[in-house]
Amino acid sequence: MIFRHNNNNLFLASFIILILVSSCHNAAAFFLLRSLATSQQISNTCRYADSLLEQEAARALAREQGEKDTIARAQVEEEVLTQSTAPREPLEAATEEELQTAKKANKKFWKERQRLLLSLGTKNKKKTSTGGGGMGFGGSAGGAKKDTKKSKDSNSNDNDTEQLKQIAFNPKFDPDGYAAIIRTEGVVRKNNVVRKETTAKLRQFIDDELARAEEDIVAGKISEQARFARVLLKRNRWDMSLPLGQKEGGADIVMQALYEMLGDSSSGNPGTVGGIIESALSSDAQLHELASLISDPDSDRQILHPDMAHQGDTQLRTGPPFVTCFVAVQDVDDIAMGPTEFLPGTNTERHHEEFGDFDRRDGMLRKAPTKFALLNEGDCSLYDTSTLHAGSANRSTKRRRIFYCTFRSVSLGDDRTFDEPGSIRGDVLERRLSLAGIREVLHEWKNQKTEDSVS
């Protein structure tokens, strides 16, 4: 491309500068703009280039200070939790007693929901069967006003009915009670979710994909946002989105892991966690994230946080906004490896209010029991994303890798933005897959794999 020295091209050059600066190519941006400037423009242009670089330097300094403040805050939280009177223990698989207790509570909730739906339906029928005169034959203006009021009441009841129908929890798909625990406690452990033969290949694929992604970013083939989501305290920690449906570079192993977890559309195959997600969110739940969390030795402890704020009355009606499944692809058998630390039972509006109030936060944390997700290879933790948690510091000599997927409740709008798209690749996001939809994809994939092996 040949550039001519005029105002339009100077504007274009400035636009390129902004792109290069945002991509951290500051030096390239500076020298490009200088080379395009005429002798009359060079002074102003160089000042503009310098100001852009100064702004980027200021942003980098702010980010660096922000990370220091976050690390300091995480250390304070760690000290408070250490002084807590409540236990800090490993996250164990739920006992039969705990599962049964949660199931009873949720069945009671389910029956109450059905009773309310029936009650609202009966009210709506009564209202539509009783009529007043309208403005037609023998009608009057008074009759019209009465009908309007009834119409409003009917619409209100219709809205109530629709809101109740949004309650996704269904004990039918939760015979063991795991989704019931997620609803009441915010987090549950399930063992043997993915076979070790699969996790071994997945572990290698994640390592290879991380190396490949970093090489492609340095070479300018892809942007950082195309592969990595924002993560709290990035030093030696990555949140890397993964492909779906590709066979190149060993990516087929992602499909195998999802097949074991979610099952497929054939009858009687809900997968190891698919039924739990369906029970908590319904089969209409949308795939929101498909990624891997990686923390290397010397990664810092994160601050406690929910992935999603508590949704208030909506969450009380409809259950968790999102459910995430973290699968360990190697043994996480030592707290030094930096396992996720959960605060069970904090998926409530009260806990979020206390956590958001600096005057009450420490008091809440001192009384809060915590659970470390010390998982064996192939085990998982499933959690309501409004549950408080944090990745702890990796002070071991081992890399910790988590394979995960997140599903979003249909009761919520899609809250993605350009800056916060969730940990999912663009081509996967565009498919807008529900749990039912991804099971169809997995069914077709499995059939094709069977055909290929026969031929």
One digit per residue, the tens of pLDDT, for the chain of length 455 reads: 433 344 444 444 454 444 444 444 444 444 444 444 444 455 555 555 556 556 666 556 655 666 777 778 888 888 889 888 899 999 999 888 988 888 787 777 777 766 766 765 555 544 444 333 333 323 333 333 444 444 444 444 455 445 444 555 666 777 888 998 998 899 999 999 999 999 999 999 999 999 999 999 999 999 988 999 887 667 889 999 999 987 777 789 999 999 999 999 886 789 999 999 998 998 999 999 999 999 999 999 999 999 988 888 777 767 788 999 999 999 999 999 999 999 999 999 999 999 999 899 999 999 999 999 999 999 999 999 999 999 999 999 999 999 999 999 887 777 665 556 689 999 999 999 999 999 999 999 999 888 877 76
Q: Which ranges constitute the DSSP H helices of 219-310?
A: 252-262, 274-281
What 8-state DSSP symbol labels residue 303? Answer: P
- How far is residue 202's CA from residue 259's CA, in Å, rounded to a whole number? 13
Task: Assess contact for 389 and 342: CB atoms under 8 A.
Answer: yes
- How far is residue 344's CA from residue 342's CA, in Å, rounded to a whole number? 6
Task: Assess contact for 403 and 257: CB atoms under 8 A.
Answer: yes
Using DSSP bridges, classify how beta strands 237-241 and 286-295 pair: parallel, antiparallel or unpaired: antiparallel
- How far is residue 370's CA from residue 106's CA, in Å, rounded to a whole number? 23
Beta bridge partners of 237: 295
- How far is residue 42's CA from residue 33's CA, in Å, rounded to a whole number? 9
Residue with tokens 């999102």: 322
Task: Look at the pTM and tell me if it is higher than 0.85.
Answer: no
